[in-house]
Amino acid sequence: MLLVVNAGSSSVKVSLFEGDIELRRGLASEIGAQGHEAALAGFLADGFGAGLKAAAHRVVHGGAGLTAPCRLTDATIAAIEACVPLAPLHNPANLVGIRAMAKLLPDLPQYASFDTGFHASNPEVALAYALPTAERARGIRRYGFHGISYAGLVRHLRATVPAGLPKRLLGLHLGNGASLCAMVDGVSVATTMGYSPLEGLTMGTRSGSIDGNAVLRLAELHGIDGATRILNRESGLLGLGGSSDMRALQAAGTPEAGFARAHFAYWVQRHAGSMMAAMGGLDAIAFTGGIGENDAEMRAQILQGLAWAGQVPAYVVAAEEERSIAIEAQALMARGL
């Protein structure tokens, strides 16, 4: 048995796997920053700990050094902690989950998969911002996210498409957080998110790409904390249409809601052109994530806007990030790592 742990700032999700079969899942929410250990202890006492051979964690940011799933050691945990300045909202929570499991079951092997790792294959010209050397040396560069989702998407299509994995694949992870990924032979060559999950598409509450001077103006008007709040929590679909939920926008039928949906589709289409350029064409499209899987009208609108690229297969793939984490950890275990 393997326990997949996804620790957030005030919540923890767990999934129990045997092989690639999910047996159970659990969620503890509104637990605060200090409640992870108690929540995990409760899950373990409630049957999630029976026959457990390992735990595997989702870690949002692995920086430039942690680019593949790995067994957690003091050194790798220190490297995750070193990435906290790059993901201050995510990595601290991930570390809390890791340390809580280590305290509860100190002899249990632990593994981690990184949302940034899948995009480490991007060429340097795609990763680098045109900044002075000293600033780039601080780690200010594009990293990309949703990598665990894209790895699972590739694995699914490889196993299920009769003709094999499409060579030039455009992946669309569309949810409250949204991104695109250009993949050639299953390898990421470009993605829309950058230094943080703010860059790229219009999202649920995030603005997506915005001129740096506009960010500076917001900081001037509202302070850094205020600008951070506006860009990450008050913008996107919420700022345009009054709700971060695509279903609510679709039901509202107001001009503002319609504009928000149109804005989302437009920027998916526009960034898709950039992704196609990065991989030299297009052989297939794959949707995943809450919007990508469930909003057929939005999928149709996006595909209509990409019709100029020619008729290619379009797939809908369930986002199964926990299963991907479990598969990656068990592959390491099978190699004795």
My answer on whether 11 and 96 are in the same domain is yes
Q: Is residue 147 part of a domain?
A: no
Q: Is residue 152 part of a domain?
A: no
Positive/negative CA dihedral, 274, 280, 285, 289: negative
CATH number, position 6: 3.30.420.40
My answer on whether 259 and 197 are in the same domain is yes
Q: Is residue 126 part of a domain?
A: no
Q: Is residue 331 part of a domain?
A: no
My answer on whether 175 and 303 are in the same domain is yes
Q: Is residue 274 part of a domain?
A: yes
Ranges assigned E (strand) in the chain: 2-7, 12-18, 21-28, 54-59, 70-71, 110-114, 168-174, 178-184, 187-191, 284-288, 314-316
Q: Is the pLDDT of residue 34 over 90?
A: no
My answer on whether 300 and 191 are in the same domain is yes
CA distance 335 to 312: 38
Give me the domain span that covers residue 233: 162-321
My answer on whether 101 and 216 are in the same domain is no
My answer on whether 8 and 83 are in the same domain is yes
My answer on whether 171 and 100 are in the same domain is no
CA distance 285 to 181: 10
179 three-state secondary structure: strand
Record the pTM: 0.94
Residue found under tokens 């949906």 = 261
Q: Is residue 59 part of a domain?
A: yes
My answer on whether 97 and 190 are in the same domain is no
My answer on whether 311 and 170 are in the same domain is yes
My answer on whether 178 and 292 are in the same domain is yes
pLDDT band at 90 (very low <50, low <70, confident <90, very high): confident
Q: Is residue 204 part of a domain?
A: yes
41 within 8 A of 14, measured Cβ to Cβ: no
Annotated catalytic residues are 115
CA distance 278 to 191: 9
Q: Is residue 154 part of a domain?
A: no
113 within 8 A of 328, measured Cβ to Cβ: yes
Mean pLDDT rounded to a whole number for the chain: 96
- 77 token code pair: 């945990």
At 87 the pLDDT is: 84
Mean pLDDT, range 178-205, rounded to an integer: 97
171 within 8 A of 284, measured Cβ to Cβ: no
187 three-state secondary structure: strand
- Which of 114, 144, 176 is the last residue in one of the domains? 114
At 88 the pLDDT is: 83
pLDDT band at 32 (very low <50, low <70, confident <90, very high): confident
Give the orientation angle of helix 296-305 with respect to helix 255-279, to 10 degrees.
50
Q: Is the pLDDT of residue 41 over 80?
A: yes
Instruction: Compute φ and ψ for 250, nearest 5 degrees.
Output: -65, -40
My answer on whether 171 and 93 are in the same domain is no
**Structural domain count, the chain:** 2
At 86 the pLDDT is: 84
Summarize pLDDT for 301-320 with one digit per residue, the tens: 999 999 999 999 999 999 98
My answer on whether 275 and 170 are in the same domain is yes
